[in-house]
Amino acid sequence: MKVQEIVDRFEKFAPKHLAMDGDPVGLQLGSLDAEVHKVMTTLDVRPEVVQEAIDNGVDFIFAHHPVMFRPAKNLDLSDPQNQMYADILKHNITVYAAHTNLDFADGGMNDWLAEQIGLHDVSGLVPGYADPVYRLTVQVPKVYAAAVRMSLVDAGADVNNSEYTGYTYAIDGTVYYIPKSTSDPTIGPAGEPTEMEDSRLEFEVFQNKLDDVLKALYDVHPLDKPLYNIIKLEDKKHQMTMGRIGTLDESMTLADFANNLKSKFNVNGLRVIANDLNRQVKRVAVLGGDGGKFYQLAQSKGADVYVTGDVYYHTGHDMLASDMPVIDPGHHIESICKSKLARLFNQWKQENGWDIDISESQLNTDPFTFI
């Protein structure tokens, strides 16, 4: 199979247009038209990770962090970064990165972090792209309505709601018609008045699911040319968000919560910015990566503590002055993506019959050591 097929499926999950302006997501090196046999997921693309891929015969590296944040000024191979690019190309490895689009995606990076912390009643933190919502209306013979409805729901004709799933509005009625001589005889004798019990099904569909839903409609609908219409709901959009805010099962002291984070994310150390380590916390905001500038937003949404990485010195002073406890467990907690992405790819492999091997990088690319 081609790299393009994997990328197309992933970009339905986390479209590139979700990424922040200037974020170099997508193809990094290689070709989307290249054949792929072995995929490796990783947080970072570093020389040691590339060597790991070469040693294991990997031909597609799927990373969270882009390998090329800035263009190369030259191709002097005495520069380790340039030598890494040369090694990637020499061994016909394709590299793709999903960065802030994965951060914003439903079920993506920040949902994984919230789940790892143990949060429930989770909602979004930082608003981003507002995904258009469409109303899809489908007409189908009543006897086929249940099968069509379930197929479309499985394909994505659904709304995100914490209280229910598979929401569909249905109206039953009778269709009257006279088949022409060229009509399919199964819908009635040619030239004779005929009636049939019919159902009209209405769904709400996010833009990035629309193609899959329409494909499912054509696959399952009993007619060669299904009757349907699509209306863009101008007053309704699905707000994509980066970061999450939710609630712990039980309140605990800030010190205990910080120690729990060390265990949950397998880090040897972290930084706590707080005036009182004995303060009780229950409502938690989290944003993977460098999210220090959003601490006031977390505070305004009622968070007792904010978890994010790469907090700057002067920002830390501002957090203390605002009495907003913040825990910085480091940027590397995003390495959770390695196993989560591998799980997604294995799921899609089963669904689509992909003939590929999927593995996770076994290397720790955290540049910091706590002593």
**What is the rounded distance in angstroms from the CA atom of residue 202 to the CA atom of residue 200?**
7
Percent of the chain with pLDDT over 70: 98
92-113: average pLDDT: 98
What tokens appear for 116 in the block?
């790892």
- Residue 357 pLDDT more than 90? yes
Query: Nearest-CA neighbor of 43 among 366, 346, 353, 270?
Result: 366
- Residue 181 pLDDT more than 80? no
- Residue 162 pLDDT more than 60? no
Tell me which amino acid residue 5 is. E
260-282: average pLDDT: 97
> Are residue 59 and residue 37 in the same domain, yes or no?
yes
List the CATH number of the domain containing 299: 3.40.1390.30
Our measurement of the distance from residue 55's CA atom to the centroid of its chain's CA atoms, rounded to an integer in Å, reads: 29
**What angle in degrees, to the nearest 10, is found between the helix axes of 47-55 and 80-90?**
20
Quote the pTM value.
0.88
List C-alpha distances in Å: 146 to 151, 180, 200: 9, 28, 11
As a whole number, the mean pLDDT across the chain is 94
The boundaries of the domain holding residue 191 are: 129-239
Domain count of the chain?
3
In a domain, 346, yes or no: yes
The structure tokens 């019919």 sit at: 198
Between 88-97, 110-119, 131-140, 181-190, the lowest mean confidence (pLDDT) is in 181-190
- Tell me the per-residue pLDDT of 321-353, one tens digit each, with 9 for 90 and over: 999 999 999 999 999 999 999 999 999 999 999
> Are residue 161 and residue 185 in the same domain, yes or no?
yes
Structure confidence at residue 348 (pLDDT)? 97
> Are residue 223 and residue 187 in the same domain, yes or no?
yes
Structure confidence at residue 129 (pLDDT)? 93
> Are residue 136 and residue 223 in the same domain, yes or no?
yes
